[in-house]
Structure 1
Amino acid sequence: MTTPSRVAIVTGGSGGIGRPVVERLAADGLAVVVAYSGSEERAQEAVTAVTEAGGTATAVRGDLGDEADVARLFDEAEAAYGGVDVVVNTAGIMLLSPIASFDVDDFDRMVRTNLRGTFLVSRETVRRVRDGGALLNFSSSVVKLALPEYSAYAATKGGVDALTLVLARELRGRDVTVNTVAPGPTATPLFLDGKPQDVVDRLAAAPPLERLGTPDDVTELVAFLAGPGRWVNGQVLYVNGGIA
């Protein structure tokens, strides 16, 4: 089989949004590196789904908060496929609590994954991505919705927004786009975990379209920004059905 000409790294590639992103980019003809930190079984399931559909994928484990692990992720992508063209940062954790009772260790853990991890992957992307490439970071619509108990999570994602907007301007002349995708309520395990049904129903009714988003709603935008969307740059794009 001919090696695909374009290569993507998807962090959190075995997760609720990450895996659909992996499968969609592979279906579009990219070789995909599934970056994961947790379950090897889930990561291999994502790789198997791609290869059984005729695509190309491999899995690499590492801690995105660790500089050496992030460098090794890119090393392995380059060794396997010759370079990196698209990086999609879907990895993230969400811990909720009012500020007054928020555990500082939980805060630090979320900052390490959501903000430090995005920073390190973005920095390595800048150093390695080929011209014509794209970096897509993931934020959240809760940054502007200001929902109670989401303060720490929203703070980490607000940092991602700022990093993305500045980085797009720092890459002037490189022909590399940098954008943030900011989903609203989306029916993934991360979103649904621990929420009472009445809360889920209320959030589903909030957008004018009166439903939760699906991972496929998000992957459509990712595929566009990773491929033909070359004139979209330095933006935070809200994928939330019009909730705000």
Structure 2
Amino acid sequence: MTKKGESIQEKILRILDRNPDGLRIGQLQKLLKVSRNSVYRYLDLLEMKGSICKQPDKSYILKERIRPQTIYGFQYQAILQGLKIVGGEKWDIRNPEGKQNFKELGKITYPMMKFPDLSKDANFKKQSHHLSDIIETTLKVLQVTLPVETFKDDIRLDKDGFPDKLTNLAAIISFEGGYVLSEDVIENGFAHYYIIAGLFEMWFEHLIPPIYGGRTIVDVLKIDSEHQIVDLALYVIFDEKNPFIKS
């Protein structure tokens, strides 16, 4: 087995872990960007290993979960669909009110996530001369705290550590996955990223303004539903002078 083949098999397992209702060949092919024959071949290998099994509806599921299920995993499907059914447009991310309601839900959830309060950490304040320090530290904390798969970040700072002068954009944090292909929640399946945006916004509000002043906003910047990729954007806004310390 080549390294590429092993990598694709690992990716199949991760994708199926994020989609506990199971996925069919065509759905996996779109996410993997490989030929249909290749998908069949790797699924056969994983089935022989006992890692996956085929269901009567011809979808594939994991025999054992990779990660423990949490409120941000399998149970999300029932919550997202339930809120939409009960609340209608108020909990539908296709309109601004629905997006904001999910974001506010994230802010309410924030105290339960047990984020460390680095704004009172004198050593952290002393070391944080550059916004990139805060963002990098944040990503490390959030990767441990949130059960979602962070796979890249794009920090938009100039050489002195300032957010983009025109847009106030400081960072883009990209995530892969979202339990979006379950038929029950396919229209609202990315709603939990608005919850995560609310969590992030609360985190940055507790961290950046006490050190530098200003205010922070976190919003969902882009959703690529075909490949299960979501970009969250961090904006840092200063009403007066930008107080970042030059490197």
Q: TM-score range by the shorter chain?
A: under 0.3
| Structure whose CA Rg is larger | 2
TM-score by length of 2: 0.28
